[in-house]
């Protein structure tokens, strides 16, 4: 009887130990807990109460329950995990308990992307939620292990390309997260194109370089990739444009001066009209009217005797 009880206790302890869940930042983590629809349920993150469902169906949320956490039956789902989400998760359902451990692993290479040959790089592996004293180290398929969670590559070589593994131990078990490193070879310098035999520049006079023995055109032939006659044409064109602009300015000034002079002359010159110095003619008598007789003498009164 005692043997059966001890065997049941061992099975309960193994089931209560749960499992280790390894996630990268931004992924989702799921924690199962017994039946899908239990009568009572409690989820704890470390020593913090996340949520409690009583037999009456009432839910009580704690500080550890946020907008990234939700329940699906008795399963706890944490989306977009962060480093602070790592640690121990305990589930109490129908007087039974289960325990899970969330480890958040971040592996990265700095700089990111393809690493040029000969450049410096750094590999980092950070594991949140490990027990104290756990070891973290880098290994690669074509090389030995490194005894640190950070690897400094002072000069990247072609042999550094491949899959790197970040290994760590937890509760006596070894876990690993991989990172692929890509090395970019330096492109060989491209040779300069050979000059064409039919080009005009080849017919220009050249002189050999005393240091390298390579024939180069004299400095008066090419300047900024153009021949001397091109620069001469450009200079003559610029001179013609400047002379035309000066001529236009002089003509405009002369026209303005002439207009002002004509206006002044119009203002000073008086206006004369034609006048005739002849005596005025007598007014003609009006026709159709009778001449008036001169008034007669006034009658004087008769003298009395």
**How high is the pLDDT of residue 296?**
55
Q: Averaging pLDDT over each range in 118-132, 181-195, 291-305, which range is the top one? A: 118-132
Q: Do domains 17-103 and 106-184 have the same CATH topology?
A: yes
Is 218's pLDDT higher than 60? no
In the chain, domain spans: 17-103, 106-184
Question: Taking the domain 106-184, which CATH number applies?
Answer: 2.60.40.10
Q: For residue 175, with 0-12 CB atoms within 10 Å meaning exposed, 13-18 middle and 19 or more buried, which class applies? A: middle
Range 269-285 average pLDDT: 57
Mean pLDDT of 152-156: 90
CATH number, span 17-103: 2.60.40.10
Quick one: pLDDT band at residue 12, thresholds 50, 70, 90? very low
Global pTM exceeds 0.95: no
């Amino acid at each position: 009887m005692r043997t059966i009880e001890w065997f049941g206790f061992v099975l309960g302890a193994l089931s209560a130990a749960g499992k280790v869940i390894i996630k990268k930042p931004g992924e989702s983590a799921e924690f199962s807990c017994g039946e899908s629809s239990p009568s009572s349920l409690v989820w704890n993150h470390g020593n913090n109460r996340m949520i409690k469902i009583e037999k009456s169906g009432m839910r009580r949320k704690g500080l550890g329950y946020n907008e990234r956490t939700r329940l699906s039956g008795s399963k706890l789902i944490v989306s977009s995990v962060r480093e602070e989400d790592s640690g121990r998760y305990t589930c109490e359902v129908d007087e039974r308990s289960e325990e899970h451990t969330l480890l958040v692993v971040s592996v990265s290479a700095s700089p990111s992307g393809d690493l040029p040959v000969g450049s410096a790089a750094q590999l980092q592996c950070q594991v949140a939620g490990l027990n104290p004293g756990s070891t973290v180290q880098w290994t690669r398929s074509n090389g030995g292990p490194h005894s640190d969670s950070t690897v400094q590559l002072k000069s990247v070589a072609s042999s550094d390309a491949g899959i790197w593994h970040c290994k760590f131990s937890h509760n006596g078990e070894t876990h690993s997260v991989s990172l692929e490193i890509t090395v970019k070879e330096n492109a060989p310098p491209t040779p300069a194109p050979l000059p064409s035999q039919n080009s005009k520049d080849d017919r220009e006079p050249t002189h050999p370089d005393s240091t390298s023995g390579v024939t180069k055109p004299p400095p008066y032939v090419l300047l900024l990739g153009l021949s001397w006659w091109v620069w001469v044409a450009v200079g003559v064109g610029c001179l013609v444009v400047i002379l035309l602009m000066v001529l236009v300015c002089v003509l405009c000034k002369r026209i303005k001066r002439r207009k002002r002079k004509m206006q002044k002359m119009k203002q000073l010159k008086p206006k004369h009209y034609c006048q005739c110095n002849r005596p005025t003619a007598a007014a003609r008598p009006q026709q159709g009217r009778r001449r008036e007789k001169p008034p007669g003498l006034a009658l004087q009164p008769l003298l009395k005797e």
